[in-house]
C-alpha cells in the first residue's frame, strides 16, 4: 500500500507559539487581569507584554492587538482602576436619604477600602495621571473621581451642612485627608484595620474641626 500523502503531526507537538490560537475569548480582559496580578505581586517594573502573553498562553505578538507598548498597558490598568474606584465613590456619594456626615463616611470608607485592597494599583493610578503621555480618557476618569466628591460638597453647601466657599478647594482638603490615610497605610505607618475602625471619628473631626466648642 502506498504511503499516505497526509502529513502526520508528532504526538505531543503543539506547533510554534506564534501560531498558537487564542481561546480565552476576551484577550484584553485576560491581559489586564494578568497585568494587575503581576503589578500586585512583583511591581510595575516586572510588567512585560511578552511575559503577559506567556502567562495567559498566547503568542508574544497577540497583546499588540490591544496595547502597542508597555505605556499603553499601564494607562489601561490605571483607567480600569479609576473606573472601579469611581463606581464605588458614586454609589457612596449618591445617598440623599442620609445625613451629609453619613454620606461622607460612606465615601471615605469606599475610598479607603479600595486603597487598602489595591495599594499598588492606586500608586500606579496616581503616577499615570501625572504622566505627560497619559491618555485623554484617563484624564477624564481622574476628573470624574474628583467630580463626584466636588458635587457632594456643593450639594452639602446648598443644604447648609458645610461652610460656604469654593467647593473645589474644600474637595482638595477632604481628598488630601483621605489620601493621607491611604498613604500611611501603604507605608505601614498605620494599621489598615485600625484606620477603618476609626474612620467615623476621622470624618467627624474633618467635618467639625479641632477647635473646642
pLDDT per residue over 49-67, tens digit each? 999 999 988 988 888 888 8
User: Percent of the chain having pLDDT more than 70?
Assistant: 86
- Cα 122 from Cα 64, distance rounded (Å): 25
In a domain, 126, yes or no: yes
What are the DSSP calls for 149-205, one per residue? HHHHHHHHHHTTSS--S-HHHHHHHHHHHHHHHHHHHHTTSS-HHHHHHTHHHHHHH
- Do 59 and 73 belong together in one domain? no
Q: Pick from 68, 86, 121: which residue ends a domain?
A: 68
Per-residue pLDDT, 5: 39
With bands split at pLDDT 50, 70 and 90, how would you rate the model's confidence at 145?
confident
pLDDT per residue over 112-135, tens digit each? 999 999 999 999 998 877 776 777
Across 3-17, 63-77, 140-154, 164-178, the highest mean pLDDT is recorded for 164-178
- Which range of residues forms the domain containing residue 97? 69-208
- Do 43 and 78 belong together in one domain? no
Amino acid at each position: 500500500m502506498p504511503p499516505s500523502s497526509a502529513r502526520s503531526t508528532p504526538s505531543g507537538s503543539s506547533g510554534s507559539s506564534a501560531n498558537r490560537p487564542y481561546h480565552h475569548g476576551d484577550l484584553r480582559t485576560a491581559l489586564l487581569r494578568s497585568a494587575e496580578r503581576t503589578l500586585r505581586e512583583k511591581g510595575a517594573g516586572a510588567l512585560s507584554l511578552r511575559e503577559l502573553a506567556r502567562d495567559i498562553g498566547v503568542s508574544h505578538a497577540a497583546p499588540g492587538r490591544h496595547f502597542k507598548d508597555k505605556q499603553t498597558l499601564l494607562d489601561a490598568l490605571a483607567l480600569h482602576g479609576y473606573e472601579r474606584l469611581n463606581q464605588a465613590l458614586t454609589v457612596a456619594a449618591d445617598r440623599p436619604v442620609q445625613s451629609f456626615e453619613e454620606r461622607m463616611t460612606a465615601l471615605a470608607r469606599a475610598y479607603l477600602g479600595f486603597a487598602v485592597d489595591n495599594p499598588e494599583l492606586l500608586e500606579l493610578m496616581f503616577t499615570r495621571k501625572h504622566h505627560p503621555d497619559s491618555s485623554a480618557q484617563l484624564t477624564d476618569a481622574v476628573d470624574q473621581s474628583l467630580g463626584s466628591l466636588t458635587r457632594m460638597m456643593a450639594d452639602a453647601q446648598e443644604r447648609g451642612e458645610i461652610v460656604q466657599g469654593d467647593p473645589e478647594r474644600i474637595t482638595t482638603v477632604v481628598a488630601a485627608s483621605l489620601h493621607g490615610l491611604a498613604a500611611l497605610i501603604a507605608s505601614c505607618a498605620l494599621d489598615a484595620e485600625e484606620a477603618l475602625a476609626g474612620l467615623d471619628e476621622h470624618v467627624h473631626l474633618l467635618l467639625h474641626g479641632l477647635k473646642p466648642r
